[in-house]
Amino acid sequence: MVKKLYFLAILGFLSVESIMACDACGCGAGLTGMGLLTNYRVNSLYLGYNLAKYTGDPQFGDGSTDRFHSLDVNFRYYLSNRFTAQASLPYRWNERTVFENNQQLQGLSDAQLTVGYVLLNGQSDKENATLFLEVTAGLQAPTGNYDPVIHEEDLPENFNVGKGSWAFVQRNNMVFSKRYLGLVASTNVVINGTSTGGYRFGNQYSIQGLAYWEKRITGTLSVIPKVGVYAEKTEKDRYANELSVHGTGGSGLFLSFGGNLRIDRIQLGVVLYQPVVQHYSDDELSANTRYSIQLGYNF
């Protein structure tokens, strides 16, 4: 049982990374925890910081630089062998710099509450391998501040820390592990509702896969390097009359590099996401390297 919980702690943290993308250009869906590899109840609490930076093309404007910070608290509770409940509350602060002028918005963002169901939790003691499949679904609540006339401050609607509407969230998670090697995959969909005044943010889709290798240093200390790929697509925003909003939506493909440091049940993780292909905001914005730092505790 100790060995099973050991792998659970590793992979639970590998998959909890939240990809905080640019809400201002309507891209990025965000991936959160995958979870159980065994049928034992294990709860987890994670704190994550994410940074995404975008640079505007001076041919289409003033050449602004946007930075999107997110501090997320994620809690996962195992209701039974098959069912899990997950809650996430982010705090965001968005910055835009044009020449020497700086604009900022910050505050609590939209909270998420989802329920998961374990479809498959197969183990082979002979092969020392585990295959885990889980589906989750839930809601994103409009707890963050949303200003429907933010454009009067010369900022896009998506610069708000909240979206002003309910959203449906659905994720699929897969984890395969064999000894100290493993593969993790996850898909994420966010279907946004209509905000105040009829504005609707584009639906978001993303998929992530990564491979990891765990090196045990001592009985309770391990180093876990990992590498992967992440892809996202966001539809264009729409006005109340259903016309699409120029400069919104986009897609990108990223390579991810990072690692975790595990000390017993505590883990620290750092990941870098490097764009390799991108088309954001009608090619008027360029995504820069993204960063994610996670600190978690499994209990």
Please tell me which residue, 47 or 42, carries the higher pLDDT value: 47
Token readout for 270 is 């750092």
pLDDT tens across 1-38, in order? 444 444 444 444 444 444 444 443 444 334 333 333 33
pLDDT band at 125 (very low <50, low <70, confident <90, very high): low
In 110-180, at which residue ranges do the beta strands (DSSP E only) sit?
112-124, 129-140, 167-178
State what percent of residues in the chain have pLDDT above 70: 84
Are 164 and 196 within 8 A, CB to CB?
yes
Amino acid identity, position 264: D
Count: domains in the chain:
1
In the chain, at which residue ranges do the beta strands (DSSP E only) sit?
44-56, 65-78, 83-98, 101-108, 112-124, 129-140, 167-178, 181-192, 204-213, 215-216, 221-234, 250-263, 266-280, 285-287, 290-298
Cα 237 from chain centroid? 20
Which CATH number characterizes residue 90's domain? 2.40.128.130
- Compute the average pLDDT of residues 40-44: 66
Q: For 179, phi and psi rounded to 5 degrees? A: 55, -115
Please tell me which residue, 21 or 77, carries the higher pLDDT value: 77
Q: Global pTM?
A: 0.87
What's the pLDDT at 126? 66
Q: In angstroms, rounded to a whole number, what is the distance separating the alpha carbons of residues 281 and 25?
A: 6
Amino acid identity, position 81: N
Helix (H, G, I), strand (E, B) or coil at 4: helix
Q: 26: domain range?
A: 2-298
Please tell me which residue, 220 or 110, carries the higher pLDDT value: 110
pLDDT tens across 194-211, in order? 998 899 999 999 999 999
Q: List the end-to-end C-alpha distance of the chain, in Å, as a whole number.
A: 14
